[in-house]
Structure 1
Amino acid sequence: MTGARYQQLERSLAEQIQAFYAAQLERQPRQVTCRVFANKLVIFLEDGLTYPEQLLLTAGRVELVQQIRAGLSAILQPKLQSLIEQISKVGVAEVLMTTQLETGLVSISAILTQPLEQVEQP
């Protein structure tokens, strides 16, 4: 896979994941950044918290927000895995999600079943 193809894939993933979050959570992250590293994919979403989560944090309900975020992650992970597989044309072995409540930064790591260099070009 060429550098230009990596950039195209990263751009496509960022756009689709931003749209996915807007559709699923009715909240579009301010910026989505994707980076591909052979058989790994790292995605950062800036301002990834929903308005209700932000409101609860302001009220000091950190534990409740952590529970909500854990539930959301459990629901979103398989859907994100499917979306990543559809766009990258590669299987995903695992998706890991973490959220920094203080900053609203969401990080998603996906472990692919094979390096993207081995994927056939269309």
Structure 2
Amino acid sequence: MSISVLAVDDSRTMRDMITLALVSEGFEVHLAEDGQHGLEVLDDIEPDVIITDINMPRLDGFGFIDAVRARDDARTIPILVLTTESSTDLKTRARNAGATGWIVKPFAQDKLVRALRMVTG
């Protein structure tokens, strides 16, 4: 059984890179263009794990994480932040909001795959 991933990023290039990296490893990938779209996608699917960027229009990653954690149906889904940001303050803010982990872009495929497998058991 494949691991289902919701990847939320406003960059089409990044969404394509995530898809390429994960589909080749057997993951099922669902995409969203920003946090608001990510919440809409969550109405239709139950992913095993979520990957989200921080800096996005309409609803940023922090708002998205807060909204996911407020939903009974998604409260326990692991959330990995995948961003160019590396500030300790932002990492702490994300963890306090409910993020499970943090990966800095550009990402190495093997590191992303390992992190996803680790948080999904």
TM-score by length of 2: 0.30
* Greater strand fraction, Structure 1 or Structure 2: 1
Which structure carries more helix by proportion? 1
Question: Higher relative contact order by CA 8 Å / sep ≥ 6: 1 or 2?
Answer: 1
